[in-house]
Amino acid sequence: MLSLFHETAFKCSELITKHYSTSFSLGIKTLDKSLHHSIYAIYGFVRYADEIVDTFHDFDKADLLKRFKKDTYQAISEKISLNPILHSFQLTVNKYQIKHELIEAFLKSMEMDLEDQTYDSSLYNEYIYGSAEVVGLMCLQVFCQGNEKEYEILEKPAKSLGAAFQKVNFLRDMKSDYLERGRVYFPKVNFDSFDAQAKQNIEADIQKDFDDAYKNGILKLPKTSRLGVYLAYVYYLKLFEKIKKISPEKVLKQRIRVNNASKFVLLVQTYFKQKLNYI
Identify the band that residue 60 occupies on the pLDDT scale cut at 50, 70 and 90.
very high
State yes or no: pLDDT of 279 exceeds 70: no
**Which of 203, 204, 131 has its CA nearest to residue 166?**
131
pLDDT above 70 as % of the chain: 97
pLDDT in tens, 85-105: 999 999 999 999 999 999 999
State yes or no: pLDDT of 141 exceeds 90: yes
pLDDT in tens, 12-30: 999 999 999 877 888 898 9
pLDDT in tens, 152-174: 999 999 999 999 999 999 999 99
pLDDT above 90 as % of the chain: 76
**Which of 186, 168, 67, 86 has its CA nearest to residue 127?**
186
User: Across all residues in the chain, what is the average pLDDT?
Assistant: 92
Tell me what pLDDT residue 267 has. Answer: 75
Domains and their CATH numbers in the chain: 2-275 (1.10.600.10)
Question: Which whole number is the average pLDDT over 242-246?
Answer: 95
DSSP of 18-35, one letter per residue?
A: HHH-HHHHHHHHTS-GGG
Instruction: Report phi then psi at 221, rounded to 5.
Output: -65, 155
